[in-house]
Amino acid sequence: MSAAGAGRGDDALIVGAGFAGLYMLHRLRQVGIRARVLEAGDGIGGVWFWNRYPGARCDIESTQYSYQFSPDLEQEWCWSERYASQAEILSYANHVADRFDLRRDIVLQTRIAQARFDERTQTWQLRSQDGRQFSARFIIMATGCLSVPTWPEIAGLSSFSGEVHHTGTWPREGVNFAGKRVAVIGTGSSAIQSIPVIAREARHLTVFQRTPAYSVPARNIKLPPSVLAGIKAIYRQLRARAKQMPTGVLFDSSTAKALETPPALREREYERRWRRGGLTFLSAYCDILTDRDANKTASDFVRAKIRSIVKDAAVAERLSPKTPIGAKRLCVDLGYYETFNRENVTLVDVSSAPIERITATGIIAQGTLHEVDIIVLATGFDAMTGALLRIDIEGRNGVTLRRRWHDGPRTYLGLAVHEFPNLFTITGPGSPSVLTNMLPSIEQHVEWIADCLAALRDSRIGSIEATAEAQNAWMAHVAEEASKTLRASENSWYVGANVPGKPRIFMPYAGGIPKYTQTCDEVAARGYEGFVLEPAATATGFLEEEPA
Ligand code: NAP
């Protein structure tokens, strides 16, 4: 056992040093619980550490995609743009780690491969890929919802003689596209952000599109100091109002229905939101994500915009999605559709026939070899369950999470799993997570878990486990909420459709943050209803003894 593994009595181990893991550590310290964070990377920041592809930035406004647990932090930090770049978000994460002195309890370069619950000692035993052991009564999985990149199963990929990069594991030193012929495979958010930047640098860019995606302009700007000061002056009120929104984002959300609005007025409203930019486009009417006809009014508007931007009518048609808007995650761009007017950009439609194969020199699609020097895989992630299932997690009686989730993830509140005592998931499947602003969702989970562990310690409880009944009831409720949204019926990573063989289940909770938070608070107020609590077996109770 190396020094990094042994010699400490941790009450809790947190897996992952993204925004969830960082705040979890801080909060546990505040309630007097000894914890460490184990992180696979050689730096902190989670998705913002790994996703360094050109053009990467958050599609939620920086002043909202940020922690709110510390009013001082909120006042000190100055976001420079409406939508923060990956570099700025990563430097914010590092600032938080320094400001709250978190690094001394973060163990980097530690990829956890196995976690086993030891019934005898009521502790979790963790092993890293390189064989180091860690042990604690509680483990908290802060492993992220979109952190396991998916590599496409395309014949010949390994035979390509040039560079291949996935947007989700971008090289730290960057990629030089100058003078190069580049292929981008995929047209989701990551591709839509990187394509305009790569097109400006590369000699030629070929985009391989299987399914067109909807995108709205970001209208990113440098944040004028006066605007930032205005937000900071009322930050607390703005944050409180945002928490009342289903998404946790303070959008200009309308309660009007698209189909009950006169067409001319509706067009004006869509135009206003298009000009303003960002995801708030979908909040123009309350029925866009629940009623197909209402949705069509919005998707028709965007298709007309694509036709007006893209000069080649055939290319515009290929770029125009046919599915409901917002059913897949809506993209936000800086000049995506305009990029297809460039002489050095080609769109290859692989919707009717997939990419045939990759050779040493390029990509064959529809019988044509497209010769390239660099391939960029913007092919997405094994969302929500990928990061949990790649760890061999074994709960009570040798039951594995992989076996239990064979037909899809099952959780209680997206926070805990029956048969896996003392294990918590931050923004796990069955919680609002990816349908919301991740930062407030993370904070709500972290605070709930920290309060829970403190309450267990104070009443000398050694283990907590979700009951099968509570989990079944929660999953039924998650399914009921999913049935109300068009998102559940389309193919996307929300339902696991992007990973061959992954069971189809709408993974996030669609009931929104306020309802969800109230449920979590009620569960806690009723003495952790739906959980079985067992007294600590050892004389020392909750806290681990320092190893001899
Ligand atoms: P994604 O949305 O899953 O997109 C992956 C793309 O790759 C899709 O266009 C997919 O086509 C295509 N693809 C996959 N395998 C393929 C194959 N074998 N041949 C051809 N095309 C293939 O992944 P992402 O763009 O990385 O985004 C994932 C999520 O991360 C987003 O929805 C968002 O939540 C988050 N994200 C956020 C931001 C931001 O804040 N701005 C930026 C990036 C990502 P199909 O659609 O046909 O499967």
DSSP string, 425-461: ETT-TTSSGGGS-HHHHHHHHHHHHHHHHHHHHHTTE
- Give the C-alpha separation, 167 to 53, whole Å: 5
Q: Which residue type is seen at 487?
A: R
Tell me the two tokens of residue 467: 């009951």
Tens-place pLDDT, residues 319-354: 999 999 999 999 999 999 999 999 999 999 999 999
CA 219 – CA 199 distance, rounded (Å): 19
Q: Does 4 have pLDDT greater than 50?
A: no
| Nearest CA residue ID for atom 14, ligand 1 | 379
pLDDT for 537? 72
Ligand 1 atom closest to the CA of 497, numbered from 1: 48
CA pair distance 455, 449, nearest whole angstrom: 10
Q: What span, in angstroms and rounded, lies between the C-alpha atoms of 296 and 483?
A: 19
What would the two tokens of residue 294 be? 């209402």
SS3 334: coil
Asked if residue 185 has its Cβ within 6 Å of ligand 1, the reply is yes
Cα–Cα nearest to 375, from 116, 151, 72: 151
532 by DSSP, 3-state: which? strand
pTM for this prediction? 0.95
* 8 Å CB contact between 494 and 504: no
Q: Contact 339/345 with Cβ under 8 angstroms?
A: yes
Q: Is 452 in the pocket of ligand 1 (CB under 6 A)?
A: no
The answer to whether the CB of 184 is under 6 A from ligand 1 is no
What pLDDT digit, counting tens, does each position of 451-468 carry?
999 999 999 999 999 999
Q: How far is CA 201 from CA 66, 172, 177, 204, 422, in A?
A: 31, 18, 6, 9, 50
How confident is the model at residue 538, as a pLDDT?
60
- Reported as a pLDDT band with limits 50, 70 and 90, residue 56 is very high
- 362: helix, strand or coil: strand
Q: Buried b vs exposed e over 405-436: b needs ≥16 C-beta within 10 Å?
A: beebbbbbbbbbbbbbbbbbbbbbbbbbbbbb
For 262-299, write each residue's pLDDT tens digit.
999 999 999 999 999 999 999 999 999 999 999 999 99
Q: Residue 539: its pLDDT value, please?
A: 44
Mean pLDDT for the stretch of residues 217-228: 97
Q: Are 144 and 22 spatial neighbours (Cβ–Cβ below 8 Å)?
A: no
- pLDDT score, position 111: 98
pLDDT for the residue 8: 65
Residue with tokens 């958050």: 58
Q: How far is the CA of 493 from the centre of ligand 1 (A)?
A: 8
Closest residue by Cα to atom 17, ligand 1, is 152
**Looking at residues 502-508, what average pLDDT do you find?**
96
**Residue bearing the CA closest to ligand 1, atom 27:** 189
Ligand 1 atom, smallest distance to 434 CA: 34
Angstrom distance (rounded) from CA 252 to CA 36: 40
Model confidence over 356-376: pLDDT tens digits? Answer: 999 999 999 999 999 999 999
Amino acid at residue number 119? E
Which residue minimizes the CA distance to atom 45 of ligand 1?
211
The residue whose CA is least distant from atom 31 of ligand 1 is 189
Name the residue at shortest CA distance from atom 6 of ligand 1: 186
pLDDT of residue 1: 31
Average pLDDT of the residues of the chain: 95
Would you say the CB of residue 147 lies under 6 angstroms from ligand 1? no
Burial, 364: exposed, middle or buried (Cβ in 10 Å; 0-12, 13-18, 19+)?
A: middle
If you search the block for the tokens 């730290």, which residue do you land on? Answer: 172
Tell me the residue length of the chain. Answer: 548
User: Ligand 1 pocket: which of 379, 427, 490, 502 to mutate (most atoms <8 Å of CB)?
Assistant: 379
With a cut of 50, say whether residue 40 has pLDDT above it. yes
Per-residue pLDDT band at 543 (split at 50, 70, 90): low
Which residue in the block uniquely carries the two structure tokens 């077996």?
537
From the CB of 65, is ligand 1 less than 6 Å away? Answer: no
Q: Which of 110, 111, 106 is nearest to 25 (CA)?
A: 106
How high is the pLDDT of residue 542? 57
pLDDT value of position 536: 84
Residue to mutate (ligand 1; options 61, 157, 170, 189; most atoms within 8 A of CB): 189
User: Is there an atom of ligand 1 within 6 Å of 193 CB?
Assistant: yes
The predicted pLDDT at position 545 comes to 39
> Distance, CA 481 to ligand 1 centroid (Å)?
24
Does the C-beta of 357 come closer than 6 Å to ligand 1?
no
